[in-house]
Amino acid sequence: MRTILYILQKEFIQIFRDKTILPVIFIMPIFQLLVLAYTATFEIKNIRFIVVDHDHSSESGKLSDKFSGSAFFTRIGQTDSYNQAIQAIKKNEADQILVIEPDFEKNLMKENHAQVQVVTNAINGSAASLMNAYAISIINNFNKEILIKKFPLHFKEMPIKLNSSFWYNPELNYITYMVPGILVLLVTIIGMFLSAMNVVKEKELGTIEQLNVTPIRKFEFIAGKLIPFWVIAMIDLLFGLLIARLWFGIIVVGNPFLLLFVAGVYLVLVLGLGLFVSTLTNTMQQSMFISWFFMVVFILMSGLFTPIESMPVWAQKLNMINPLAYFIKINRMIMLKGSGFIDIQRDFLILSLYAAGMVIFSTLRYRKTA
């Protein structure tokens, strides 16, 4: 134990002596959380649309005003030329076109039906689906208003009334969903990259040889390398939770001590993985490349941006070895749903076994050579 304390003292002195790494550890995660929470979103806002109005009637004006009045749409122009509007989409100046047919009002009032066309830029398929859904919703709402106006007695009192309530995220705020996941991402990056570069840095400086000739045992060496970054990552997580509360108004609904306990186990896993990478490499450049390879795969398959249930079956099975997927799920359950230990015990058990195995494997992989 005494030996581990000496190693910890040495590690903390090295960390705080390096003036360039301190902003990376404490300032960058906070900055990234504030930026990513607003930018890492699949919500579609400010959809640029052009109206091609061939009717120029009061009803066609009301329909186009419906789009303009929506928080999701921004009208950038109106034209009589469909080809001109298409050119705007080709130049990426517009996202959608609303085409209103000639005699729109006349057909609507006399024939009881009329046609409109919505043209959507579908390079991004998921974004196009959302834009199309927003447009259809506005048109349906417009259609309903006309029916109520024409048949007021029929729509005076609907037989079925619907009142919706949304659990866990009642305002449907995407930031509320993303912040818990981004917190996991940031502490993972900090923990994994710093631990992965730590032993390699000793190799590059040549100090690893001095440590190898001492009577330090392997588990003492690994513990001394792991604990400082575990403490730093936990402090970063606490700062992140504080920002989530004060800046974004996200309260941890569940037990915060349970969250910190699970986070502590998860960070042991991440740091063990970083230490394992450092035992495989001889330079910091090699360590960075291998760590980044793992991180990219883990992030994209973690469910942070896209639901795991939407992935192919083989990808869902492969995700069983992805630690980010487990902790993002647990973090969201505790922070937003107020889940207890019973609800997360299976995922927590997997994380615990994963963490123990990774630390043991890293310890066995590290070889002391004189």
SS (H, E, C) 200-231: HHHHHHCHHHHHHCCCCCHHHHHHHHHHHHHH
Give residue for tokens 């309530």. 165
Q: Which amino acid is at 156?
A: K
Mean pLDDT of the chain: 84
* 129 C-beta neighbours (distance < 10 Å), count: 13
C-beta separation of 183 from 327 below 8 A: no
Mean pLDDT, rounded, for 102-112: 83
pLDDT in tens, 135-151: 999 998 888 887 777 66
| Long-range contacts from 318-324, C-beta under 8 angstroms, 24+ separation | 320/350, 322/297, 322/298, 323/188, 323/266, 323/269, 323/270, 323/273, 323/298, 323/351, 323/354, 324/184, 324/185, 324/188, 324/298, 324/299
Cα-flanking dihedrals φ and ψ of residue 180, to 5°? -60, -40
Q: Where are the beta strands (DSSP E) in 277-356?
A: none
C-beta separation of 254 from 343 below 8 A: no
146 vs 364: CA distance, rounded Å: 74
Label residue 306 by pLDDT band (50, 70, 90): confident
Residues in the chain: 370
Q: Which of 91-95, 260-264, 269-273, 304-308 has the lowest mean pLDDT?
A: 304-308
265 vs 237: CA distance, rounded Å: 13
pLDDT in tens, 170-217: 877 888 888 999 999 888 988 888 888 877 777 777 666 666 666 677
Q: Which residues of 135-148 are buried (b: 16+ CB within 10 A; e: fewer)?
A: beebbeebeeebee
Q: Which of 130-139, 148-157, 333-342, 355-364 has the lowest mean pLDDT?
A: 148-157
SS3 of residue 347 by DSSP: helix
Quick check: 246 pLDDT over 50?
Answer: yes
* Domains in the chain: ranges and CATH: 2-40+171-365 (no CATH), 47-150 (3.40.1710.10)
Supply the pLDDT for residue 347: 94
Mean pLDDT, rounded, for 285-313: 86
Neighbour-count burial of 213, counting CB atoms closer than 10 A to its CB (0-12 exposed, 13-18 middle, 19+ buried): exposed
Comparison of pLDDT for 30 and 11, the residue scoring more: 30
pLDDT in tens, 218-239: 777 778 878 888 998 999 999 9
Structure tokens at 295: 């991180």
205 vs 228: CA distance, rounded Å: 20
Quick check: 349 pLDDT over 90?
Answer: yes
Q: Which amino acid is at 83?
A: N
Structure tokens at 241: 């939770």
Cα-flanking dihedrals φ and ψ of residue 61, to 5°? -65, -40
317 vs 329: CA distance, rounded Å: 16
Supply the pLDDT for residue 211: 64
In 3D space, the residue among 182, 194, 179, 159 whose CA is nearest the CA of residue 278 turns out to be 194
- pTM score of the predicted model: 0.80
Label residue 275 by pLDDT band (50, 70, 90): confident
Supply the pLDDT for residue 370: 45
